[in-house]
Amino acid sequence: MWTDPRVARLITLIRAALRPPAGAGRIALTLTFGVLCHALFAVGVLAMIVAMFFGLSESLGSVPWPMAALAKAALIVQFPLAHSLLLTGRGGRLLARLIPGPHGQTLATTTYAIIASAQLLALFALWTPSGVVWWRAEGAAFWAMTAAYGASWLILLNASFDAGAEVQSGALGWMSLLARIRPVFPDMPTIGLFHLIRQPIYVAFALTLWTMQVWTPDQLVLAVCFTAYCVLAPRLKERRFAIRYGDRFDRYRTEVPYMLPRLPKSEDQPDAQ
């Protein structure tokens, strides 16, 4: 277990953060960002889990129609748009400049997680429900769909851990600054779920969108829009990986499918000639 690079990175980072060098101002800034990051992350994800569990039939938004349609369109667009733009080189430079002073670059991953969490919270807390419910699971169907929904979230959690929990949660930035070390990013992920498909995070996210026990027009619109994003957006990510990792990524892309795992060959199935 301790030799697993996913675990070893976390242990190394946590140990360094537990022995921070002196610097009251830096430590105060770091802990403030850490608390803000993980509190927003928890609240944003919780808002998403609860809102989608009810098919977006329950939320706090109360924009009157027809302006509600425009408000919901804006809420849908803002998350994938900023999520993708901030992952570009120009977006990374912007993240580094958002925090004045010398620590913006180190805190970039934490800043990114704060922004993404706030976007999720806005999307699911401020959504204005249509009031229309097409289908609500009952009895065995309810428990089956609830189990599928929970399993989808567990797959997403597993995929995020495989990709680097410290990056996905935003901990890398503030913990590195607390320890006063350079942030060390995970290598190209190829183990765990990334051994089966190249984009397990996006696949798991898409699965959470389609395992509802309540179906409404709101949930269908969100599921269609975000599933399209999950299919198309990783292409941009893979372009960056191809530039960063070169032949390593080319070989990985050849050997591992994009989103659908290959079926294992039957023992009596002859190899293709």
Segment 48-78, tens digit of pLDDT: 999 999 999 988 888 888 899 999 999 999 9
- Please report which confidence band the pLDDT of residue 273 belongs to, taking 50, 70 and 90 as the band edges: very low
Q: Are residues 217 and 157 in contact, defined by beta-carbon separation less than 8 angstroms?
A: no
CB 20 within 8 A of CB 179: yes
Give the confidence band of 3 by pLDDT, cuts at 50, 70, 90: confident
Residue of 97, 110, 88 whose CA lies nearest to 35: 110
Could you give the CA distance from residue 158 to residue 146 in angstroms, rounded to a whole number?
18
Banded model confidence at residue 90, pLDDT cuts 50, 70, 90:
confident
Q: Which residue has the higher pLDDT, 125 or 267?
A: 125
Rounded average pLDDT over 120-137: 93
User: Percent of the chain scored above 70 by pLDDT?
Assistant: 96
The pLDDT, as a whole number, for residue 268 is 54
pLDDT digits (tens, 9 = 90+) for 9-44: 889 899 999 999 998 989 999 999 999 999 999 999
- Prediction pTM value: 0.89
Q: What is the mean pLDDT of the chain?
A: 90
- Give the 3-state secondary structure of 111-174: HHHHHHHHHHHHHHHCCCCCCCCCEECCCHHHHHHHHHHHHHHHHHHHHHHHHHHHHHCCHHHH
Stretch 221-238: mean pLDDT, rounded?
93
Q: In which band, very low, low, confident or very high, does the pLDDT at 272 lie, cut at 50, 70 and 90?
A: very low
Confidence of residue 151 (pLDDT cuts 50, 70, 90): very high
Does pLDDT of 234 surpass 50?
yes
